[in-house]
């Protein structure tokens, strides 16, 4: 099916994009890589009057590390992030970027669009929750930064206000003894995950000083599994502790019944993925090079 007719506008700056979106009103949508929006337009699930293309705004795709902080511009594509020095230095970022769909989608889809689509199957919101990231927004009322935890408020709904866009995300560079893993399971490479799990650990020997765990594709929004983290924090990472953390993560999930599997199947997967994520994060904390990505059958 062809999309319903719409007017196309190309913004040359953040200010111009905000001005256009504000002036054009609720029928207008921002366009980044188009990998979600154009699909919705083609099935006429959404029929915007106007598209404001952000893709040519200079500087909005920067990936940089400064003053102990990583900052990724909203227009950075999954492929560019996967190839970046940041991904080489922080393997959990590489796990996520490389696990998304296929080369074609990774070359067009952006981290900002992934976050703003509010799609519970998208990987970056869960990964960024694992890293306790901030989302940087700019709109008619100026700039603001929000915690990523809670940015996706409901199914396809975010905290963005009318005329507002995401300009980038940032998170603290993991410190010494800290490493993570992002693991997912999907039906085939170009498909969204059935479930995914991010784990970031800070260890002192076998003792867990700090832990962050987030779940993707496990409910209507990304899930910050705080009870699972509490099972790990301050504990020596033994089998019983890890089992309790996995059980708490499963209890925090609320998977839906769809073509990717039943809730019971997804809960089993979450249990397995939490254990795998902890195992890989732990080995990376110890300096081991471990390659993981989304697995499929």
Interacting residue ranges for ligand FAD, rule: CB under 6 A:
29-37, 39, 54, 74, 78, 100-101, 105, 108-110, 112-114, 116-117, 122-124, 160, 165-166, 190, 192-193
Whole-angstrom Cα distance, residue 86 to residue 89?
5
Whole-angstrom Cα distance, residue 286 to residue 275?
17
Residue number, 29 or 224, with CB nearest to ligand FAD? 29
Residue 278 C-beta: closest distance to ligand FAD, Å: 22
Rg (CA), the chain: 19
Measured at CB, which residue is nearest to ligand FAD? 113
Residue number, 183 or 232, with CB nearest to ligand FAD? 183
- Are 179 and 200 in contact by the 8 Å Cβ rule? The answer is yes
Residue 252 C-beta: closest distance to ligand FAD, Å: 20
Residue number, 182 or 232, with CB nearest to ligand FAD? 182
Give the N- to C-terminal CA distance of the chain in Å, as an integer. 31
Residue 40 C-beta: closest distance to ligand FAD, Å: 8
Whole-angstrom Cα distance, residue 217 to residue 36?
16
Residue number, 55 or 241, with CB nearest to ligand FAD? 55
Reduced to 3 states (helix: H, G, I; strand: E, B; else coil), residue 94 is helix
273: its two tokens:
């993925």
CA distances from 92 to 81, 178, 295 (A): 12, 11, 15
Residue 253 C-beta: closest distance to ligand FAD, Å: 18
Residue whose pair of structure tokens reads 């603001």 in the numeric block? 144
Residue 210 C-beta: closest distance to ligand FAD, Å: 26
Residue whose pair of structure tokens reads 């939490």 in the numeric block? 274
Residue number, 74 or 274, with CB nearest to ligand FAD? 74
Residue 148 C-beta: closest distance to ligand FAD, Å: 14
Q: What angle do CA 236, 183, 175 make, to 5 degrees?
A: 55
Residue number, 90 or 96, with CB nearest to ligand FAD? 96
């Amino acid at each position: 099916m062809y999309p319903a007719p719409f007017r196309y506008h190309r913004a040359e700056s953040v200010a111009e994009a905000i001005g256009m979106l504000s002036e054009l009103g609720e029928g207008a949508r921002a366009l980044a890589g188009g990998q979600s929006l154009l699909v919705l337009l083609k099935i006429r699930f959404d029929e915007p009057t106007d598209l404001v293309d952000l893709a040519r705004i200079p500087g909005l795709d920067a990936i940089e590390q400064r003053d102990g902080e990583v900052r990724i511009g909203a227009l950075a594509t999954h492929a560019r992030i996967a190839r970046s020095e940041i991904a080489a230095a922080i393997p959990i970022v590489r796990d996520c970027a490389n696990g998304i769909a296929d080369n074609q989608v990774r070359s067009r889809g952006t981290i900002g669009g992934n976050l703003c689509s509010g799609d519970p199957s998208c990987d970056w919101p869960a990964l960024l929750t694992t890293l306790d990231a901030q989302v940087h927004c700019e709109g008619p009322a100026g700039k603001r930064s929000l915690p990523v935890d809670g940015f996706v408020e409901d199914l396809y709904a975010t905290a963005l206000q009318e005329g507002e866009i995401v300009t980038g995300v940032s998170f603290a560079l993991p410190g010494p003894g800290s490493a993570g893993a992002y693991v997912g399971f999907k039906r085939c490479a170009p498909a969204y995950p059935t479930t995914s799990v991010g784990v970031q650990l800070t260890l002192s020997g076998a003792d867990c000083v700090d832990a962050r765990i987030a779940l993707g594709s496990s409910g209507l929004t990304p899930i910050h599994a705080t009870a699972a983290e509490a099972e790990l924090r301050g504990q020596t990472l033994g089998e019983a502790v890890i089992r309790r953390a996995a059980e708490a993560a499963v209890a925090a999930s609320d998977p839906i019944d769809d073509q990717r599997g039943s809730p019971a199947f997804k809960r089993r997967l979450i249990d397995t993925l939490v254990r795998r994520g902890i195992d890989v994060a732990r080995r990376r904390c110890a300096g081991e090079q471990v390659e993981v990505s989304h697995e499929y059958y």
